[in-house]
Amino acid sequence: MTTEVSTSTEVSMQAIEAQLAELKTRIDVLDKKSTEDKVSMIVFSGDLDKILASFVIATGSVAMGMEAVMFFTFWGTPVLRDKKKQVGGKDTIGKMFGKMLPTGTGDVKLSKMNMGGMGTAMMKALMKKKNVASLEQMLAMAEELDVKIYVCEMSMDLMGFKREEMIDYKGLTFCGVAKFLEEAKNSRIQLFI
């Protein structure tokens, strides 16, 4: 009788091994689908209020133990220009864009109630009074917190911006939308701002 039991045990054993393998395969699939504690943002807008919001979210995410990735594209791109850097050798359209678009964080306007700059100035004064970090401080904080900044190459090219005129920022990377989508795909949170 013991032999019988042993045989049936062996059979069950094989069945169990098979089940284990199946569960393992299913977990492997789920593993590939699972995301990381990461927030990925497309910073499309170049408005002071929306840029501020994106940095509040980025730094807040890191404070909560998440990674943060910001992909600056279109109107968001000129916000990362460095006022102190002058670059020559641009064609006519490049020069035009260069003048019309804001040069860095100090030049950015509110999306509403700008009122010829008065609303923006008022908001900045208010932020100072209320101890809300300025865009410049936010950027420095983000750099310290290892917030990753990607800059859209297509936007750079369209607007005639050169890499040499962008801010110094640890780990700033110039890339295409594919690189961003890769990050976003593995992120818990994705936002288009």
Residues at the interface with a second copy (CB under 8 A): 1-3, 5-6, 9-10, 12-13, 16-17, 19-20, 23-24, 26-27, 30-31, 33-35, 37, 39, 42, 44, 46, 49-50, 53, 56-57, 60-61, 63-64, 66, 73-75, 93, 96, 100, 111-113, 122-123, 126-127, 130, 132, 154, 157-158, 176-178, 181-182, 184-185, 188-193
Residue 96 CB, nearest approach to a second copy (Å): 8
DSSP string of 58-90? Answer: HHHHHHTT-EEEEEE-GGGGGGGB-TT------
Residue 15 CB, nearest approach to a second copy (Å): 9
If the CB atoms of residues 23 and 170 are measured against a second copy, the closer one turns out to be 23
| Pair of tokens at residue 3 | 């032999």
CB count within 10 Å of CB 117 equals 10
Residue 157 CB, nearest approach to a second copy (Å): 6
Give CA–CA dist 103/26, Å, rounded.
Answer: 51
| Pair of tokens at residue 108 | 């950015």
Residue 168 CB, nearest approach to a second copy (Å): 26
Burial class (CB in 10 A: 0-12, 13-18, 19+), 67: buried
